[in-house]
Amino acid sequence: MKKEEKLTRKIKRLLRRIGCPRWLHRFGPKTYELWQHIFAFVVMSICKLSLRRVSKFLSMMNFEVPTYSALCKSRKRISPTLFKKLLEITAEFKHNSVAVDSTGFARTNPSYHYIKRIATKKPIKNFVKLSAFFDLSSKKFTALKVRIKPRHDIKDINYLFKRSSPTEKLFADSAYDAESLHEKCFEKKIQTIIKPKKNVKRGFYRRKQMKNYSEKIYPQRNLIEAGFGSLKRKYGSSVFGKSFKSTNAEIYCKAISHNLNLLR
C-alpha cells in the first residue's frame, strides 16, 4: 500500500507545481478532485486496465475514485495542455542529447486465434502514430506528438521543438535527413547526428553538419528504440480510446508513467 500512497503524493506534488485547480471544473456538485482523475489514469496505464476495471480495482483497494463513466468523460474534458505540462515536469527541463523517432500503437488488439480464424492475408493496419523526443541521459520522454492518421516523420519535428529542444546534439535516422532540420539545428547551435541518405549530398547546412558527424556515437540513437520497447512492454502496445482526445490522453499517461518510474 505504501507504493500506491507514494504515487498519490507524486501526482499531488506535480499538480501543485503546475498550478492546477483543485477541481476539474467550477460547475455542478464536486465530489472528486482533479488528482483523483489523474491518479486513476496513471494506474490504468501501469496496470494495463480498462476504465471499468481500474475503477473497480481502486475501489477494492479503498481508493476513492470516479466511476468508469465519469473517467471516460473527464479524459476528454481535461485539457491536453495539462498532460503536456506533466510530461515536461517529469522529464525535467534541461536536455543535452536527444533522440527523435516515431512508433505506432495499435487501436485494436486482436488475438492470433482471431486473425487465423478470419483467414486474413494482410496484416491489420489500424494504428496511432507517435513521434517523440527522448533524452539519452535520463532515459525519459521529453515531448510527444500523436497522430491518428500516418504522416511523414519530418512533419512533426517543428511541433516537438516547440515543446522541448536539445541543447547539444540531436540523434535521428535517415528519415529525418532534411535540409530544413539541419538548418533549424544549425541556427540553434545543435549538432545533428543523423544518418545521411544514400546519394544525397546537396544542401548547404547538411554539409555543415556532416563535418562533425560521427559513426561511433550514432548507435546511441538506439536508446530511443529501447525506450519505445520499454513503454510498450510495461504499459501496453495498444490503446483503448477511439477518439483523438482519449487516445492522446492515454498515450501521454503511458509516457508520464514511464517518467514517474524514473523520477526520484
**Does pLDDT of 98 surpass 80?**
yes
Of the listed ranges 109-113, 146-150, 243-247, the least confidently predicted one is 109-113
**pLDDT at res. 233:** 94
**pTM of the full structure:** 0.89
The stretch 153-158 carries a mean pLDDT of: 92
Residue by residue, what is the 3-state secondary structure of 33-102?
Answer: CHHHHHHHHHHHHHHCCCHHHHHHHHHHCCCCCCCHHHHHHHHHHCCHHHHHHHHHHHHCCCCCEEEEEE
pLDDT tens, 41-71?
A: 999 999 999 999 999 999 998 999 999 999 9
> Please, are residues 83 and 114 in contact by the beta-carbon 8 Å criterion?
no
Q: Indicate whether 29 pLDDT > 70.
A: yes
* Cα distance between residue 260 and residue 89, in whole Å: 10
Confidence of residue 170 (pLDDT cuts 50, 70, 90): very high
228-244: average pLDDT:
91
> Please, what is the average pLDDT of the chain?
89
CATH of 91-228, one of 3.30.420, 3.30.300, 3.40.1620, 3.30.460: 3.30.420
* pLDDT score of 93: 78
Question: What does the pLDDT read at residue 200?
Answer: 79
Retrieve residue 7's grid coordinates.
504515487
pLDDT score recorded for residue 125: 65
Structure confidence at residue 264 (pLDDT): 63
Helix (H, G, I), strand (E, B) or coil at 153: helix
pLDDT of 1 = 44
Helical residues (DSSP H) of the chain, grouped into ranges = 2-18, 34-47, 51-60, 68-77, 80-91, 112-117, 157-163, 179-187, 204-210, 222-235, 244-262
Pairing of strands 191-194, 169-172: parallel
Domain with CATH 3.30.420 in the chain: 91-228
Q: To the nearest whole percent, how much of the chain has pLDDT over 70?
A: 94
For 100-131, how does the pLDDT look when each residue is reduced to its tens digit (9 = 90+)? 999 999 887 667 777 777 777 666 667 899 99
